[in-house]
Amino acid sequence: MPIEAIEPQRLYRQISDQLRKLIVDGEFPVGSRLPSERDLSVQLGVSRPSLREALIALEVEGYIEVHMGSGIYVCPPSPAPEGEIDLSTEEGPLELIRARAMLEGEVAYAAAKNAKKAQIDAIEEAFQQMIEHTSAGTNPLEADRLFHIRVAEATGNSVLVGLVTQLFDARLGPLFNRLHSHFDTIEVWNDAIEEHSRVMKALRARDPEMARTAMRRHMDIAFKRYSASLVGQAGLFSKKVVAEKVVKVVKAKVVAKKPAAKESAVKVVAKKSAKSTTVKKTSALKASAKRAPVVTPTKRRSARAGS
């Protein structure tokens, strides 16, 4: 038998694999509500951002469904899907944001130091497009992408342009798309515009340190934003038109619903090994899944529908 290379598995995939097995084995029955994100992260011995990525993967695959203000529920199995959703090449959305923070802070520094006037004007144009699209009630994602790419172009380094483009486009994959859908509100975009305005101000002032700080601040806020409770967020981007030409910044309030009753103590041992982080499931974990008699989750989406 030939020796096969051992591929390190991303942490969020190890977590989702374990939760998926528990669902398939009936430990979390169809229609039951999963324990809260806080309790699951403690039981599994992992961080909430890593758990968040795992839950998003299970949602994309159709095993669970998020009900705003209620909880996360197990979906019924779909009949004979045409094909499995392959997430093996998908990076964790929150890891992507961390990588961008490390890179784009320095990109903004170099842009403020080296940009020509025409390049600053081009960045300003993309920023104004973000404001106009948000004011019109349309999603400004393309203008946001253009803003970051033009900042990279202002460095004069084509390799940095390629890296920034690659990392931004990674958010167009199924995992980031699904995560983003839970936070894609007009209030969030107003906040993002305020964050971009600080970067823009630093670039106009040709202040490299200010530009680096402003870009890192933007990425840090984005990380915290996407790390908030899934259950407490609003749904898809609102189509409501904003009358004002100048977008007002409205802070999105994240309200995490507290569980009505204290969850049963669950003994889960997380093996902190590079080869495996499989956690021993116990009968107590099964008991922590609560039935939801009122909420009827929709059928698990097929691989085609979830992609």
| Domain ranges (residues) in the chain | 11-87+266-306, 93-226
Q: Is the pTM of this model over 0.85?
A: no
Contact 60, 303 (CB under 8 A): no
Percent of the chain with pLDDT over 90: 40
Please tell us whether the domain made up of 93-226 is placed in CATH 3.30.56.10.
no
Q: What is the average per-residue pLDDT within 139-150? A: 96
* Per-residue pLDDT, 5: 52
* Per-residue pLDDT, 229: 64
Contact 87, 173 (CB under 8 A): no
| Predicted confidence (pLDDT) per residue in 202-250, tens digit | 999 999 999 999 999 999 999 988 887 666 543 333 333 333 333 343 3
Side chain identity at 267, as an amino acid letter?
K
Residue burial 15-45, b: 16+ Cβ < 10 Å; e: rest = bbbbbbebbeeebbeebbbbbbbebbbbbbe
**Mean pLDDT value across the chain:** 76
Higher pLDDT, 134 or 303: 134
For helices 141-153 and 93-114, what crossing angle results, to 10°?
Answer: 50
DSSP readout, the chain? ----PPPPPPHHHHHHHHHHHHHHTTSS-TTEEPPPHHHHHHHHT--HHHHHHHHHHHHHHTSEEEETTTEEEEPPPPSS-SS----TTPPPHHHHHHHHHHHHHHHHHHHHHH--HHHHHHHHHHHHHHHHHHHTTS--HHHHHHHHHHHHHTTT-HHHHHHHHHHHHGGGSHHHHHHHHTT--HHHHHHHHHHHHHHHHHHHTT-HHHHHHHHHHHHHHHHHHHTS-STTS--SPP-PPP--SSPPP-PPP--PPPPSSPPPP----B---SS---B---HHHHHTPEE-SS--PPPPPPHHHH-
Domain 11-87+266-306 CATH (choose: 1.10.260.40, 1.10.10.10, 3.30.365.10, 3.40.50.1700): 1.10.10.10
